[in-house]
């Protein structure tokens, strides 16, 4: 069955970078987009952007442009999300989620990765 398994929790200092991975299994990796969504403690969901595993094309939400980079490794069916210049407000659970091309909804989600930014 479909699984999106994310890397473990991270603790980072302000100004540092974090790279979170999302390993897909149970389906053809290149036929589904992967999105990233984050959730600050006790808050709602915030959209970060999308990567197309087939060609590596990306589109980042305006709030994250210039600070986020999404990439993929087709040999391991893994997508990565790197966020730079971390600040305390970036403390959140980061989720990857799958979308079948152009359906505009996310049918499977990873378990989430807690990133804590603290000095």
Partner 1 sequence: EIVLTQSPGTLSLSPGERATLSCRASQGISSSHLTWYQQKPGQAPRLLIYGASSRATGIPDRFSGSGSGTGTDFILTISRLEPEDFAVYYCQQYGSSSYTFGQGTKLEIK
Give the footprint of partner 1 on this chain (CB under 8 A). 35, 37, 44-47, 59, 61-62, 95, 97, 103-112
Nearer Cβ to partner 1, position 2 or 16? Answer: 2
Nearer Cβ to partner 1, position 17 or 27? Answer: 27
Nearer Cβ to partner 1, position 3 or 87? Answer: 3
**CB neighbours of 86 closer than 8 A, spacing ≥ 6?**
12, 13, 14, 15, 16, 17, 18, 115, 117
Smallest gap, in angstroms, from Cβ of residue 116 to partner 1?
Answer: 16
66 vs 62: CA distance, rounded Å: 9
Smallest gap, in angstroms, from Cβ of residue 83 to partner 1?
Answer: 17
Collapse the DSSP code of 45 into the 3-class scheme (helix H, G, I; strand E, B; otherwise coil) and give the result.
strand
């Amino acid at each position: 069955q479909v699984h999106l398994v994310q890397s473990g929790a991270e603790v980072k200092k302000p100004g540092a970078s974090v790279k979170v991975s999302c390993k897909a299994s149970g389906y053809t990796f290149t036929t589904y987009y992967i999105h990233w969504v984050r959730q600050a403690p006790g808050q709602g969901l915030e959209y970060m952007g999308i990567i197309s595993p087939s060609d590596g094309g990306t589109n980042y939400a305006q709030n994250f442009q210039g600070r986020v980079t999404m990439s993929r490794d087709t040999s391991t069916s893994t997508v990565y999300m790197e966020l730079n210049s971390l600040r305390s407000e970036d403390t959140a659970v980061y989720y990857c989620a799958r979308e079948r091309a152009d359906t505009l909804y996310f049918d499977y989600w990873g378990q989430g990765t807690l990133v804590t930014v603290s000095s």
